């Protein structure tokens, strides 16, 4: 632990005074101490709840949840009660509204971040700086600058980081990426990605409301610009407000652009140009695009087009077009221009799981395996950062409505002041990135 870390932990120890002490994992009994990995969860709502379920189901791998944090008391207490019920004991001893009580607690090995997007980077960074391995939901970060900082910290502190893009752990997606990488479609020409339309709506104006009891709203806003509370600002629907997320561009784009990047073997790079013409609400609480349409062009000439689908299906899809045919994959389908493309090497090997969520479980399993092996995860933060960057490039291009040139090595736009200034945001005090 360096001096900074020691300092912060001393401060945190004061902060945590009075909170229940987490017992060292070896005292929990059932598993051998060397095999137990203690988990803390920050954000216990929507995806946090799914991730808790995954880790609870992976008890046999030595995963043990010992702490939960949520700025909403209702959610954190509900999560703690659920965990205690499953473990059948008084586990999960730390139930907190301040993530720093988890990130700076030496008894926690790994942190799962499932908060709204505007908090991802700051919480994950604090965890990395204090020696935690981190599973962070997608989109990995809210800005390009945050992604760069997160990848740098991951390497600097030699930690394991998994992005929550669990399609990387799904047999169908893995199969498509593999066979395209091996040339099954020949030279690729273009890729079409469909993402769902928004599934929540608001009117042209909104009324500031009283903050509900139990929600620490100031902490919820955190690094984002201040705005008065409104119900539709927080749980789930935060994703349609650009101060906290990037709309469906980043919500679903993070999954399906990720598969395109994988198949293109571009995990360490990205496109060289982007342009778009989306539609954004001109009034009302929501500010994220209601219609997404942008195209990113790679140096190879491959064009990746991302569009909002209009058929009401709440899933995405990615369709690859090459000189030898096409392949189209989503969570519910795998099609190709020729059936022979679907059976290469015996076809996809799908994960199996009693109780469902096979790819989600496989993704968390990979994280746990990498915590033990110290190898990089299948969706290492560097991979998640490059995918999230394309989502952000798309949103920036759609807002600026002009073609932009991107240098994927320097990670900067060429000759566009506004676009470059949109790569990062200043934070509301007292929060800081670096």
Partner 1 sequence: MADEKRAASDPLKNAEPNPRLTEFSKSPEPWAEMAKMEWGGDRTHASTIQTLIMDADVSQYPTFEKKLLAVLADQQATAAAQDFVCRMLRLVGSAAGVPALAKLLADEKTADCARYALQAIPGAEADTALRAALGALKGKAKAGLIGTLSARGDKEALAAIKACVPEGGEVGDAAALAVATLGGAQ
| Cβ distance to partner 1 smaller for residue 255 or 423 | 423
| Cβ distance to partner 1 smaller for residue 352 or 410 | 410
Question: Using CB under 8 A, which of 34, 282, 332, 373 touches partner 1?
Answer: 282
Question: Using CB under 8 A, which of 7, 155, 200, 333 touches partner 1?
Answer: 7
Instruction: State the number of binding residues for partner 1 (CB under 8 A).
Output: 41
Question: Tokens 């509301």 belong to which residue?
Answer: 428
> Is cis: bond before 139, omega within 30 of 0?
yes
Stretch of 17-25, 178-186, 321-329, 400-408 lying at the interface with partner 1 (CB under 8 A)? 400-408
Residues 407-426 that bind partner 1 (CB under 8 A): 417-418, 421-422, 424-426
Question: What does the per-residue mask of binding to partner 1 show for 353-392, with x meaning CB under 8 A?
Answer: ----------------------------------------
Write the DSSP assignment of 336-377 as a string of letters. Answer: ESSGGGG-GGGS------TTS-HHHHHHHHHHHHHHHH-PPP
Beta bridge partners of 407: 412
Stretch of 184-192, 225-233, 266-274, 334-342 lying at the interface with partner 1 (CB under 8 A)? 225-233
Stretch of 22-30, 76-84, 174-182, 394-402 lying at the interface with partner 1 (CB under 8 A)? 394-402
The tokens describing 270, both together, are 């990205």
| Cβ distance to partner 1 smaller for residue 87 or 280 | 280
Q: How far is the CB of 204 from partner 1 (least distance, A)?
A: 6
CA max distance for the chain: 65
Q: How far is the CB of 272 from partner 1 (least distance, A)?
A: 22
161, 128 Cβ separation under 8 angstroms:
yes
Q: How far is the CB of 384 from partner 1 (least distance, A)?
A: 21
Nearest to 16 by CA among 132, 96, 123: 96
Tally Cβ neighbours within 10 Å of residue 8: 19
Counting contacts by CB under 8 A, is residue 3 touching partner 1?
yes
Stretch of 256-264, 278-286, 306-314, 379-387 lying at the interface with partner 1 (CB under 8 A)? 278-286
Residues 143-162 that bind partner 1 (CB under 8 A): 145
Counting contacts by CB under 8 A, is residue 17 touching partner 1?
no
Question: Using CB under 8 A, which of 1, 11, 85, 200 touches partner 1?
Answer: 11
- Rg, C-alpha atoms of the chain: 21
Torsions phi, psi of 170, nearest 5? -110, 135
Tally Cβ neighbours within 10 Å of residue 401: 10
Q: How far is the CB of 90 from partner 1 (least distance, A)?
A: 32
Counting contacts by CB under 8 A, is residue 211 touching partner 1?
no
Residues 432, 434: Cα–Cα separation, whole Å: 6
Counting contacts by CB under 8 A, is residue 27 touching partner 1?
no
Torsion angle defined by CA atoms of residues 151, 153, 154 and 158, in that order, rounded to the nearest 10 degrees: 140
Counting contacts by CB under 8 A, is residue 210 touching partner 1?
no
Nearest to 42 by CA among 229, 169, 222: 222
| Cβ distance to partner 1 smaller for residue 34 or 207 | 207
Counting contacts by CB under 8 A, is residue 217 touching partner 1?
no
Counting contacts by CB under 8 A, is residue 8 touching partner 1?
yes
Beta bridge partners of 72: 215
Write the DSSP assignment of 150-211 as a string of letters. Answer: HHHHHHHTT--EEES-GGGG-HHHHHHHHHHHTTTT-SEEEEEEEEPPPS----S-----PP
Beta bridge partners of 406: 413
Q: How far is the CB of 400 from partner 1 (least distance, A)?
A: 5
**Interacting residue ranges for partner 1, rule: CB under 8 A:** 2-4, 7-8, 11, 145, 204-208, 225-228, 230, 280, 282-285, 399-402, 417-418, 421-422, 424-434
């Amino acid at each position: 632990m360096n001096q900074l870390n020691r300092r912060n932990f001393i401060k945190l120890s004061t902060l945590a005074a009075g909170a229940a002490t987490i017992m060292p994992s070896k005292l929990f009994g059932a598993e051998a101490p060397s095999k137990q990995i203690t988990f803390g969860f920050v954000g216990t709502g929507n995806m946090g709840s799914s991730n808790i379920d995954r880790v609870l189901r992976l008890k046999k791998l030595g995963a043990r949840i010992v702490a939960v944090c949520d700025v909403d008391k209702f959610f954190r207490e509900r999560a703690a009660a659920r965990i205690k019920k499953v473990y059948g004991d008084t586990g999960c001893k730390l139930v907190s509204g301040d993530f720093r009580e988890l990130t700076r607690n030496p008894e926690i090995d790994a942190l799962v971040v499932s908060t709204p997007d505007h908090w991802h980077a700051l919480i994950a960074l604090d965890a990395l700086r204090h020696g935690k391995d981190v599973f962070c939901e997608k989109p990995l970060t809210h800005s390009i600058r945050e992604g760069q900082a997160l990848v740098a910290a991951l390497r600097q502190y030699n930690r394991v980081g998994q992005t929550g893009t669990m399609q990387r752990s799904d047999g169908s997606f893995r199969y498509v990426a593999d066979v395209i990488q091996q040339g099954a479609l020949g030279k690729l020409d273009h890729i079409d990605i469909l993402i769902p339309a928004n599934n929540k709506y608001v009117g042209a104006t909104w009324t500031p409301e009283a903050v509900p009891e139990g929600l620490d709203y100031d902490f919820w806003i955190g690094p984002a610009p201040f705005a008065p509370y409104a119900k539709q600002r927080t749980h789930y629907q935060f994703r349609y407000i650009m101060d906290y997320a990037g709309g469906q561009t980043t919500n679903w784009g993070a999954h399906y652009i990720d598969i395109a990047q994988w198949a293109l073997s571009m995990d360490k790079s990205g496109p060289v140009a982007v342009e778009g013409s989306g539609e954004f609400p001109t009034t009302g609480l929501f500010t994220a695009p209601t219609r997404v349409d942008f195209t990113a062009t790679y140096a190879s000439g491959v064009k990746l087009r991302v569009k909002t689908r209009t058929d009401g299906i709440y899933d995405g899809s990615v369709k690859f077009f090459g000189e030898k045919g096409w392949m189209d994959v989503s969570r519910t389908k795998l099609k190709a221009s020729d059936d022979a493309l679907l059976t290469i090497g015996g076809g996809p090997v799908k994960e199996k799981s009693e109780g469902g969520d096979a790819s989600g479980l496989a993704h968390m399993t990979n994280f746990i395996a990498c915590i033990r092996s110290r190898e990089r995860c299948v969706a290492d933060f560097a991979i998640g950062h490059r995918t999230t960057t394309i989502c952000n490039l798309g949103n920036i291009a759609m807002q600026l409505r002009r073609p932009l040139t991107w240098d994927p090595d320097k990670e900067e736009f060429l000759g566009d002041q506004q676009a470059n200034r949109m790569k990062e945001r200043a934070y509301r005090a007292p929060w800081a990135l670096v």
